[in-house]
Structure 1
C-alpha cells in the first residue's frame, strides 16, 4: 500500500499534466496576497474562499466514494478545482480570471492526463496481429479486446479497468488484447466502432473462435451508441467473465 502511494506521488510530481495543474492552482496564493484591488473586502473574500473550499471538499469526497478508479477521481476533482479557482479569481480581479482561462487552455493543448501505465496480462496488438491471432484458433478460445484511443478522456478514465480485469480473469481459455485506435484509426470502421465525438470509446468486443459474440457499448439499429457507465463489475457481468472462468476451472 505504501509503495503504491509513493509511486502515485512520484507520478504526480513528475508528470507535466499534474505538475502544471499544481503550479497553476498554487499561483492563486501569491496573486491573492499581492492583490491590492480586490473587488470584495478582505472579510467577504475570505468567507467566499472558505465556502468554496468546503464545497470543493464535499464534491471531492462524493467523487472519491462513487468513482471506481483514481484516473476518474483525479479528472473530476481537477475539473471542479478549475471551476472554483475561476470563480474565486473573479472576486479578486477580472484580469486574474482571464489569466486562468488562458493558462488552462494552454495546459489543455500541451499536456494530457496520463493513462494507467500498467497492462496487467493484456496483449498490445496491431490490427494484423489481432486478425492473425483470431484466425489461428490454436490460442485462446475467447479473446476480449479493448479498442481505445488515449486522446479520448473516457479511455484515459477507464484505462485502469481492463488491466485489472485481465489480472483477475485471464487464463488459457480467455485472453485479453488491446488495439490503439489512435495509431490504427482505420480499424474502427472494420469493427463497426463509432469515433464520432469519441462516444464509442473505449469499445470492448468478446470474440469466440474468431466470431464476435458480444460487445460493449452496443449499437442499436439506428447506429446510436448505448450509454452505460463502464466499471469492472458491469463489464464482468456483461461478458459473463465469472462464468467463463468457472468453465475453464471445471474443464481442467
Structure 2
C-alpha cells in the first residue's frame, strides 16, 4: 500500500516533466511559465529600452563610445565564464543559476556607465526578484519516488522490496538543494534495480523528520543517506566528530563514488 502511495504521489511531477519535454521549445516554455526566469528576462530586456533612452539624450556622442566599449568587455567576460561553466561537471540548474549571477553582475557594471541611479534601480529589482521568485527545481523523477517519512519507514521495515534505499533529504527553499535536484533522478535512471531503490523526502513538508535522521535544516542540505534495510550504512555529507560539515559540490560522480554504486550494481548483476 505504501509503495503504491509513493508512486502515485510522484505521478503528477512525472507527468509535468513529460509534458515539458514534449514541448517543441522546452527552454522557451520554462522562460515564460516560470516566474524566476520570466522576471529575469524582463529585467535584461529592459536594458535595451534604458540604453536607447540614455543614448537619445546624449548630445556629444561620448556616452555611446564608452558604453559600447563596456558592453564589449562585458560580453567577452561572460563568454569566458560561460565556457568555464560548460567545461565543469555541473548540473543544468547550477549552470543556469551561476550564468544568471554573472549576467546580473555584468549588467550592473555596464549600467554604471549610463547612470548610478539606473544601477541602483537594477540592483533593487534583482533583490525583489530574489525575494518573490525562486529558481524551479528539476521536475523529473527518473526511477525515484517522493516519499513521506512514514512511507520510508514502511519501505525499510515492513516491505523490504529492495535491500538498499538511497534517499535524498532536501527542501524547496534551499538554493543548494534546487541546484542538485537533478542528481538523484539521473542516478536512479542508471542504478535503479531490485536491489537498490531511490527516494526523495522534502523536509520543508516534514521538518520533524530532520531531527530523527540527524540532519540540520541549515547546513546539512541536501543530505543523502544509504539504508541497508532499516540500517543507515553511509551518508553524504559526512559529519565529523567536531559536528562540522564539509560539503563539496554534489555531482553524480561524487555520489556514485561515495556510495560505491558501481560495485552494488555489479553485485546485483552477478547474482
Of 211, 219, 222, the match for 2:231: 211
Q: Structure 2 stretches of 5 or more lacking a match?
A: 1-20
Determine which structure has greater relative contact order: mean sequence separation of CA pairs < 8 Å that are 6+ residues apart, divided by chain length: 2
1:75 has 2:97 as partner: yes
SS of the counterpart of 1:182? coil
Aligned residues: 248
The match for 2:53 is 34
Preserved CA contact (<8 Å) 2:160 2:229: no
Q: Does 1:13 align with 2:32?
A: yes
CA contact (8 A) 2:169 2:201 kept: yes
Helix, strand or coil at the partner of 2:235: strand
What secondary structure is seen at the aligned counterpart in 1 of 2:166?
A: strand
> What stretches of structure 1 move > 3 A for 4+ residues in a row?
2-5
Answer yes or no: is the 8 Å Cα contact 2:172–2:204 preserved in 1.
Answer: yes
Q: 2:116 aligns with which of 71, 86, 94?
A: 94
Cα pair 1:219 1:226 within 8 Å, conserved: yes
With the length of structure 1 as denominator, give the TM-score of the two structures.
0.93
Distance 1:77 1:67 in 2: 15
Instruction: Say if 2:169 and 2:200, in contact at 8 Å, map to a contact too.
Output: yes
CA distance in 2, matches of 1:172, 1:81: 45
Matched, 1:236 2:265: no
Cα deviations by residue, 1:142-187 (Å, 9 ceiling, x for unpaired): 0000001121111111111100000110011101011001111111
Mark the runs of 5 or more structure 1 residues left unpaired by the alignment. none
TM-score, L = length of structure 2: 0.87
Residue in structure 1 matched with residue 5 of structure 2 by the alignment: none
* Alignment counterpart, residue 175 of structure 2, candidates 135, 153, 160: 153
Please, what is the CA RMSD of the aligned residues?
Answer: 1.8
| Structure 2 Cα separation of the partners of residues 22 and 119 of structure 1 | 27
The match for 2:138 is 116
